[in-house]
Structure 1
Amino acid sequence: MENSKAYSYNEAFESALKYFDGDELAARVWVNKYAMKDSFGNIFEKNPVETHWRIANEIARIEQKYKNPVSAQQIFELLDHFRYIIPAGSPMTGIGNDHQAASLSNCFVIGLDGDADSYGAIMRIDEEQVQLMKRRGGVGHDLSHIRPAGSPVNNSALTSTGLVPFMERYSNSTREVAQDGRRGALMLSVSIQHPDSEAFIDAKMTEGKVTGANVSVKIDDAFMQAVVEDWPYMQQYPVNSEHPFVKRTVSARELWAKIVHNAWQSAEPGVLFWDTILKESIPDCYADLGFRTVSTNPCGEIPLCPYDSCRLLSINLYSYVNDPFTDHASFDFDKFKEHVKLAQRMMDDIVDLEMEKIDLIMRKIEQDPQSAEVKSVEYHLWEKIKKKSGQGRRTGVGITAEGDMLAALGLRYGTQEATDFSVLVHQTLALNAYRSSVTMAQERGAFEIFDAKREEHNPFLLRIKAVDSQLYDDIRQYGRRNIACLTIAPTGTTSLMTQTTSGIEPVFMPVYKRRRKVNPNDADVRVDFVDEVGDSFEEYIVYHSKFLTWMQVNGYDADKKYSQEEIDALVEKSPYHRATANDVDWLMKVKMQGAIQKWVDHSISVTVNLPNDVDEALVNRLYVEAWKSGCKGCTIYRDGSRSGVMIPVSKKGKKKEDEKKPELAPCHHPEVTEVRPKELECDVVRFQNNKEKWVAFVGLLNGYPYEIFTGLQDDEEGIMLPKSVTKGKIIKRVNEDGTKRYDFQFENKRGYKTTVEGLSEKFNPEYWNYAKLISGVLRYRMPIEHVIKLVGQLQLQSENINTWKIGVERALKKYVSDGTAAKGQQCPSCGQEALVYQEGCLICTNCGASRCG
């Protein structure tokens, strides 16, 4: 039964904080992203125990439809404390949540057959992309069907504009969609055969272009061979036609050099080794039945055919290490095998739950007030997705904590010994997931279009035959429940809750240093650093959770204040030494990915992190090695090559750009809309917060709100500001230790400039977090009316009219263009959805009522 009791943010956070043993970041991640909410942000779960029971009860309900059902208690024990099995974000938030009509699928690919390069088809893809993103899905689609620039077209334009303008269109559509506080995710791909592929490769090199999409090039073996041998390469359009009407010969090596340079310079494009993907793909054995792979999801770990989708789940490998970080540590393969079988079973149950969600989405579309013509595209889209999902029942069982598992066993990530052990673990996972899928085929029936004859030459299944001939024979006799089963996805925020390394990646940093501001006059305060304005800071150490476990197991005092030299010595003694994201053997990491790929039927999302000073020759070598090793794709990130991505701490103790756990997200590639200027014009807006007087500073970029700060005014601890001040500048400053602060500077009547220092330090911590959220969506150009609606949904303790959030709403309303509709809001007087903004007020165009609150 669904929980109807709502909790405040603080109630949920405090309860989750206890659950996570004081890990604030894990607690905030759960509350912000995974606690059950309605579309207004009301929270209906107090801690992850309730989340896990919600999921367990729903999966157990599906289990009751089939033979030998697994109980809710068994499922809960696998989920509890994120110890063994962790559903990915969409299943975790959506299962059992009837407050929102959202999909459980993490990944979608779309695409049209036939005349797919027509303007109508291109617009249809744009609309389908947005419709999926609003349901929380990441989307990928291929652009190889669009005719190259200069090609004749049958309309008034006469010739095609080529790929790049449509890349920008799809990118902008992504940026318009908000998904529960996160931006939509898009993958755009193109074949290297396409005559416009060079323009595609260069598209993101212009700052501010195509910032809403990841881009990857589909590279075939013929091109790679031409690169190695320095042969010319033939491009054509249509790319797969026997009678193309556009042909051009290019230097494969020169085009490859451009790919390498751009990846070195900006971390994109990624590369997809397309012949490897198609050759290895089991679903492509059914290509003529609609399962021809055309692109990947935004992170690259799920190659998909049009209108197929996949749900993801990961297994926490660290939890199968007995006696971790001791000389007798061992991996519990027996427990692991049983849990893999259950994980695959749970994934199949989630396919059934997704079918229910799709039915719910389609019913909602039918009930929406729009005309049938408007609704038809979205309705037909979900019909196609439901059909494809039902035919293949594709699943995505993966792993997390690979780096911590190896360290706990005393194996150094990036060595041959560690790679060999990882391959054994992934082979075990593959065999037991496929065994589970065969068992379910016997109990529940094989996937709809299973045909053993079609699959008999598939390389992945032949590898299964070589190590387990009985399993292979059983697949041929009974079929499988699922057309494909496995993946390795990035587990970014879920790994914060497992308190482990993410996915297949090594640890980012085992130890890092932070600073907190202190009062030097307080007793027992140690001042480690004083900035240029005289503020005092105390330094403290933050340990990666499992590095802390290693310290405790090996008798090191985690409460001791260590010097930098002592910390360096500790790391050198640990199994994390020379095994972090930035100092592993990069070539060995690529080879490890290729070796593990042999036992993953979909793909692997992994990023090779490189220091800033590496040259392009190394990037070239890594990409070529990835191809030769059997990787299906590869992404390179050179430290500092992309603005907006975390910069690690050096041994000299320079401050990280963000206080959060360091994490490179290969999936979403966080980028800001523009590089923030050092100075921004600023409007000053005053308001009441209960009985307190507050002031808001709204930073403007090109006249558009870009960030917001608030604080108490005219108080000993607040902001002293003359009432005549209505404008000024917000100035971003970087302290000596690398930390940032934001100052407000204004000019008085006599022309003297006065500076209010450290705006963020004037915040109540809760308001500060909300203001960061608001600033984040402003920077991604969410329409102001939607930002105002978001502010109105924030869960603060006081709901009086004179609250902080009402003040912020008032501050933002002045930037809403007159006549903008307040969608979804009804007039309190006449009940009509006829409210528009006029000079910051809500005016009803039906009855004339005004809502200026």
Structure 2
Amino acid sequence: MNKRRVGLGYTALGDALIMLGLRYDREEGREVASKISRVLRDSAYWASVEIAEEKGSFPLFDAEKYLDSGFAKRLPEDLREAIKIHGIRNSHLISIAPTGTISLAFADNGSNGLEPAFSWYYNRVKRMADGENLVYRVEDHAFREYRKSLGIAEDDDKAVEELVKNLPSAFVSALEISAQDHVRMMAAIQPYVDSALSKTVNVPADYAFADFKNLYLQAWEAGLKGLATYRPNMVTGSVLSTVESQSQDLDMTDPDRRIRLDKTPEPALASLRWPSRPETPAGNPAITYTVNHPTNPFAVFVGHLENGSKQPFEVWCNGAEAPRGIGALAKTLSTDMRSFDRKWLEMKLEALSRTSGDGFSMAFPPEGVATSVPSSTAALAKLLQYRCNQLGAFDDIEQAQSPMVDALFSLKEPKSGTDGTMSWTVDVKNPATGDDFVLFMKELAMPDGRNRPYSVWIAGKYPEAFDGLCKSISIDMRIVDPAWVAKKLRSLAKFKEAQEDFLAREPGSEKQQNQPSTIAYVAKLIIHRYNQLGILDENGYPSEDMGLMNAEAPTGAATAGGVRVMPGKECPECKNHTYIRKDGCDFCTSCGHVGSCG
């Protein structure tokens, strides 16, 4: 009673943001959450001052000491003056509680406290008096109201599943939000809460220790009072579990089993683009950032075009001690930037910003605030995110079309069960650099019966930035048209780094050949595997044209029969890789040669 602490708070913040059309994991959502928390704080503190004026302050109140505290210093000046004159009834007033039972029992299962919804409908486990577990289905309040507004019945499972697949973008659940964005929301609210926040940061079962370490460091740097992470495991399971749809399966009768996809997306023809680097004879603006990595500092250059609006179109890294592999990653990201698909770029950068490694602290723009990043890859991604936001590239992104994302045959990497799935592995050793690792590619079975790589990883001795490059290429692999990843691989197969060249067997041959770098050799090996599967030819061009990629012809490039130059197989006449299938015939878009028909 000497302090008269109370804990006012709120619940259903996540659902409130959904109903306002705001995403929980975006800055706009955090701004509204911050405003709500500020209004709660100010209202509660003014009420406590009014009660103190009538009944007196809490017994231990000392105006000078109280107003000199860190939290009180952030109060509005008129409120501080009122406390100085009248005192305050309660030492602490705000605490955002879990409200799990309250929300379930009295708020129509609105999202708990400041949490986003766990899932739109899920199984909840209740332990009964006899020790048995009762499992029952629960729907989120915002989802239920939206479903009812569309006239969809709760027991219409097919319609409900289809609805979940096509929800407005504001419907983002706890399991879809990155751990970093969970922490960012806490950081937006904590300045207005004098006690603590109850918040669970959901992380996947395979969350790496380095990521855990960096997450807690990020929370400490943000001034949070505490952080609770939750990672499910096979031993204890989880209190809540989503109702999963079986979109992929394993053929358990086949010892050489692979994950099998039942269907793939069907994007519009010529919907994907990869413009070549534009000619800029007068130059183009670019901005430079310095990454003060403790052992491998480097500079990041982000260039943009000014065509009515500022469009970031390339990034590159430089520095005598720059991490090996970071330049190759920047090269592939430049291709992503020139797709001019903003959602695709945002998704790619968000994934890379979570790449773990040897974390460090860097001065982040614009104020140079010390910020913890989990790796050099993450530093590059975060700087590129910052610059793209600064240029307005991600403004109104929720309404933007995304042919690239629509062309992914799997938004997230498909996961196998405990019986595993097949992969292709090869040893890589570069005596010039000391690289010595195993490259492996996981494969799945497509609906047409073909096997298709969908993920590439390495294990052994290699530079940290290679992890970021593998993650980026893995996402590219899941574009349904292999022409996209093929373009990236052909570019990387020529990638040179100083004093990295070495002799190695040319993939698919006994011939020894000088390889320009470890990365170039890895790219050749991946192309070779695609060639073995009949997806790419030996030069890294698609064996069949799907008609999705709309490659911009180089300036002054010849056209044949009014058809723009398009990538394809090697033409037997002109030897250009522009031989496609057109109107039932083999046709070269460079020279116009017509081959077999039918």
TM-score bracket for this pair, using the shorter chain length: 0.3 to 0.5
Structure holding more helix per residue:
1
Q: Report the TM-score, using the length of structure 2 for normalisation.
A: 0.37
